[in-house]
Structure 1
Amino acid sequence: MEMIQSHKIRYPLPSLLFLLYFLSLHKLPSLAYTVPDKYFINCGSDTNITTSGRIFAGDLTSGNSASVTFTRQSSPVKDIDKSTATPPLYQTARIFRQKSFYEFVISSAGTYLVRLHFFAFSSSAYLPTAIFDVSASKFSLLDNFSVPNNPNSPLIKEFFIRISVGKFPIYFTPQRSSLAFVNAIELFLVPDNFIPSVAQHISPAGSNSDYKDIVSKALLTIHRINVGGLTLTPENDTLWRYWVPDDSYLYSPDTAKNSRFYSSKPRYVEGASEYVAPDLVYQTAKEVNINSTRASNNFNVTWSFNVSKNCKNFVRVHFCDIVSPSPGALLRFNFYIYSNFSLQINPYGSISQLAAAFYFDFVVDSDDSGLINISIGPRQDSEDQTAFLNGLEIMEIMGELTRRSEPKKTSIFVVVGSVLGGLILICILAFVLCLRRCRKQKAVETLDWSPAPAHRGRTSHSTGQTPEGPIMGSLTPNLNLGLKISFAEIQFATNNFDMKKRIGNGGFGTVFRGTLSNGTEVAVKRSEPGSHQGLPEFQTEIIVLSMIRHRHLVSLIGYCDESSEMILVYEFMEKGTLRDHLYNSALPSLAWKQRLEICIGAAKGLQYLHRGSSGVFIHRDVKSTNILLDENYVAKVADFGLSRLLGPPDQTHVSTAVKGTFGYLDPDYFRTQQLTEKSDVYSFGVVLLEVLCARPALNTLLPQEQVNLAEWAMFCKNKGTLEQIVDASIRSEINPNSLTKFVSTAERCLEEYGADRPHMGDVLWDLEYALQLQRTARAREPHEDSTTDASALLALPNIQNLPSLSMSMEGDYLPMLGKDHSNSLEIEVFSQLRIDDAR
């Protein structure tokens, strides 16, 4: 799709230029396009299955032999759970023990949609352990891929690939001694020009140019969003796609509202069609909520999407004006990518009809934050102060396979020389490794604290040791070997990752409870192969966490990096997350004094991060699910996947893309993209309100004014009705003056600007004072009410502005190991933007 070269950042396009720009963007998909009836393959089956209007033919049926073939060194496998409610399409699969393929005969060149369906059902071959690669043509589609044992839904990977006439194989390559499998395959032609040749290329800094030859790339669908609408399943889509609602991606839900449903079919302008997006996508939208305080101050509506870091993404945004009562020639609004690129949207620049569907394509670079932010906002020169968005798709542009040259023939003399040289090299390496191991052992023994020992795999030998794995199997050869744990030991600890030991799921893996061979209880966080999380971030997580030791921070016990595994092992926290004890669980309610002690413990951990080294270590994802409790209800801050390590003490902030969790994000950080320690203070203020009110930071099921806990609580506080939203289970036991101190502390944490918030040391001091007020409260007589009690205690001096005394705590701090870090360190392992219980 051709793009206008003269478009400049931040300058709106005039109406005429917009018209030319719009008309140049889209070429009409082929009017002769009809939905194909091939290829839809039911793998490992001799039965045809009909679902959502498609007939998936069993790959063992005779009708497939001419056009679809598969490697004979494979075998079908069936679901052995006879009582399963699994859909028929996912009750069979084909497994491969070596590099194998399905091969399709292609009679028409063009862009094809390729869908691979995976479901790890119960079978004689344990499918959840499968680790494999998938490739096609010149593209690597899936690397180190595995399928979680999720009984609720299959995992579907969708690609768009340009295919020529001839034979088209899709290769499945198991990792080492593992296996590969697939349950179903779809491969069919999409309309002409469905993927453009050219689109505007946008960088995080806002620069733009033309990105050419998109159509020759392979695209992996990451997000497909029905903005303002409900989930759309294959039954509702012209190309059998899934579209999900946008609510969980919104930064500030109160700034947007769902538009009304437009009952008639949308009008498709040149380039758009029901195949680009179905009618239902264009018949709903999110628009600016003009009744919102933020929206009325020109606050943009922003969505944040997780993507792979430092990669290119094909982004398609869909528009259809269903919010205006009549065609509004003066309706204009701004569309933003990140905060540095803007485009003026004029729905009536090309056609003066209401509900006319159109779309724009971009290629957008992601940075090391792994986020793409999309925004819309009203314009002052628009007659109607609104903006809207109907749909959005993000597809990752895949990398090409690295070709290996064929080995050359070698003479016998070269072979013999290579063998001798190899033997000599092995001897030298063995000596060097032995020497380094001895030195590292001595270094570990001189430290003033001892990490958990490196537990090795169990064996039948009397020594109780097993040989190290192959050198080539190690992903992180230069990390702290004293923390390294063998994969065999972790398998033993978790009973080979028995799903009965699963205690949580994260966006990048599963958390298991385990017991090491020495009896230590641990939490094992296993990254899912193929999750697109990088090795450098995994290494950084280990390096940083191996330097942090504090009573109120969850400790890293070890890690495993054998083969394609990336596993972190933490101390096990018996009582789970703080949120589990506040709401939405059957656990008994915590007493007010317990809650105060937990908040104090978490504040101590955060205070250590902010002041325990020569720099400032910012957590960046403080929330109730990242505060864990041990068997004695001692609080420990966990999950440093979004953390940022700043430089020397005089460095006040670092400019970085916004990351965090909705409901806890510092508005000053979001506005300026300048991260400071006060960002943690804001998030902790939200946690304090969670502790007090026993409700989530965001609850979209509540009335609009109550959705955001921080805003609602401060509104009630100013209105004098805060006591009404305090957790009913503790309302009667809270001393009023303790409540006053606690609420004023939370309020100061939630100041709009970071400079107006206290340091974590001051917060800690105030919380300890609130606990002291609760402990020393005199018992009330039956005739006394809370007002009388409060008036007596409020005579105590207000000391919230005194210097922090939190640095004098004994027994909490252990020395920080290693050198001071003057450069910023980005830690992005096992992290995600949206709320997640398994962090």
Structure 2
Amino acid sequence: MEILKRHRIQHSLCVALAFLQFSSLQFPSLGYNVPDKYFINCGSDNSVTESGKVYVGESSLGTSFGSSSNTEKNESSVPSPLYQTARIFRGDSGYKFNIDTNGTYLVRLHFFPFSSPSNLSSARFNVSVPGFWLLQNFTGTNDTNNNSALVKEFFMHITSTSLKITFRPLSSSFAFVNAIELFVLPLHLISDAVARFTPIGGLSTYSGDLYSRVLETKYRLNVGGQATKDMLLRNWIPDDIYLSYPVNAKNHSPYQDQIRYHVGDDSNGPNATRITAPTEVYGTAKETNNISDSARDFGLLNITWALPVENNLDHLLRLHFCDYWNSISGLTYFELSISNAHVMQINSDVNVSNLLPAPYYYDFVVKSDGFGNIRVSLTPNGTAEIPNAFLNGLEIMKVIEQSNSVPPDLESDSSHNSLPVVLGSVLGGLVLVFVMTLLGFLWCFKMRKEKPVENSDWLPIPVNAGGSSHSRLTDITSHGSPLPNINLGLKLSLIDLQLATKNFHASQLIGKGGFGNVYKGVLRNGNIVAVKRSQPGSGQGLPEFQTEIMVLSKIRHKHLVSLIGYCDEKLEMILVYEYMEKGTLRDHLYNTNLPSLSWKVRLQICIDAARGLHYLHKGAAGGIIHRDVKSTNILLDENHVAKVADFGLSRSGPLDPQPYVSTGVKGTFGYLDPEYFRSQQLTEKSDVYSFGVVLLEVLCARAVIDPSLPRDQINLAEWGLLCKNKGTLQEIIDPSIKDQIDQNSLRKFSETIEKCLQDDGSDRPTMGDVLWDLEYALQLQRGANAIQREPYEDSSSSVSASLQLPNVRRLPSLSTLSEMDDTIVRGDDSHSAVDSVFSQLEIDDAR
């Protein structure tokens, strides 16, 4: 209850700006129209028009189905010309779609088993996308109406360049499909941060991530209204057959005037946009019928909908409300229950603007009961000025989890086929098998999983939440675990951070990590900051919170993100950093619309990050091991100066008298030191290995783990070393920089990568040596730009072999120059020492 109240309060902060926003028209999706692609008339080369959309022949995709597939045509009467043909699959095959825009997509599959030699109604098959079963043991027959098509609808977040939908016939059967729709949706139609409701535990924050799952539409009801189709071509059907006590409800007269939608299509709830649901839904409703005083006082009168679903599975429940008959808001409020357990009070007063009638909605993740039902009840509140309860619309979507049992799609030409990382979660399936084979050690359940950065929001906190002295750090200390070196001078008040971030509004969201969401904020003094907020009310992340404060409060360096302050009030854990304008390094490498970074800029970024890590290892008091070096933890300012961030997993040398830190496996898969798996002994060389993976990521501009690739290419570190040893490293370099790289600079850079990625930590260089080598690679590149030289002949042997490099009088390793490099006092002079070293380089052929 309290969480949802806070959720509503957050959005009420924006109400006063609604009219101004309307006049500004600064909403990129305000004019959203359903894109023309892809609408496919399967089994035909001809185009047909349905619901104002042209479904083109499947030949436009250029897909080859092979000999196991054929088409069939029906000449008899069908409900739509779209169902006159079908594509038949007698083996695993399907459609591949190129994806040019990352986002949430709607996928519809149309099935109409018309009479044919194959007897389509006898088909039994599965349908999958990488990592997910969309349909299993499916027949394609509409049991409720044999003369209408069965349309299955799915929502999925796609961040790759293609999507493969595969039809897989069951034994001795076949698969078919009549039509397919695939198009990107506007922002925020489906949020990845919602509330979970359980009858026993009440409301909490959903611990999953809807963007890492697939949603299947089960119900979409126009409560109190007639069947209609909205601008997204979604079908809304009447709700009457799902009422448990029809006598308790009646339809309210339809609204004939204008619904006051939230301006733009970019709302993340609860205020609805015209994309959320059409006026035909918000302009009709069911309300309680014949409210007597006795029934109202004893809470005996309610409206209940009972909807059959699959047993014991998570479902996304969306409830739509619009009070279009009261002249002002707040006159009617009522109680919402799910599965006979109270959820919250519905009160439009804290959700909508004064421009009535204004529609709004609530999302909940709920688990169906053991009998396969979801029951939604609304009960009038006797204290309301106008006791009533109403509902305008109801949607239920099944949450489909990833599955390890989905077989990979085998393509004849893997170099031209890249299956998407659908919803960013294939790692849990294919990669787990890969890891078990490679390492023989089950550790994935301990891993921190990275999530794609999306516009999302934790449930907000009340605007008056500040001022509490309750402290998580105080609680821990009082129980006998004091936290040394906590800098209380860095403590910020919660109310200041609420004001800085517009109460953690979704519009301020700039990223998401394992600890929590990150918001852009402006402090009272005008400083722009990044505010990292953990999941409210959760004990998770407390050790990382404490560690980050202790580590960053005692170090300062030009290439380490600075801690501005922290907040520890009302069970909140919030960290405030300097704001990095350009975001993460990964943002600029792949799956991005940002301009490609030049090779020299990439080299300088690597050098900056190496400086920061070198200082951590040698310059900071006692030495600090980062433990989670990766491209998303290297941030860039407005000038592309790089700084290392996220010290929540860091370990300090003095905390352990041994030369290593023995700890449970933590980090990010793909960057983790293989020696760490075997021994669980953490050293500075573990950071060196992770940084080597980052260097390879910078060179190749691809994900460190990509399950859509052939098996030997999934892990970038292994694939990169294999290519280097085979002399084919040029083939996997980012094409946008391939022509910019001097061959001598590339040799030095690739040599550095190989040394960092050695299996045995004792064979790896120190971070100081890595820094020296990267500076050298940059000098070689600069020399190449000044004077054209003939590249040395390439060799297929290991980079660790002797290389013919220009004659260099090497000065002492930078690992011995920690006093000259960057210290706490001289944090902003980091370039001086290294530049002085390279001003003395004697490069004969580059002078």
TM-score (norm 2): 0.48
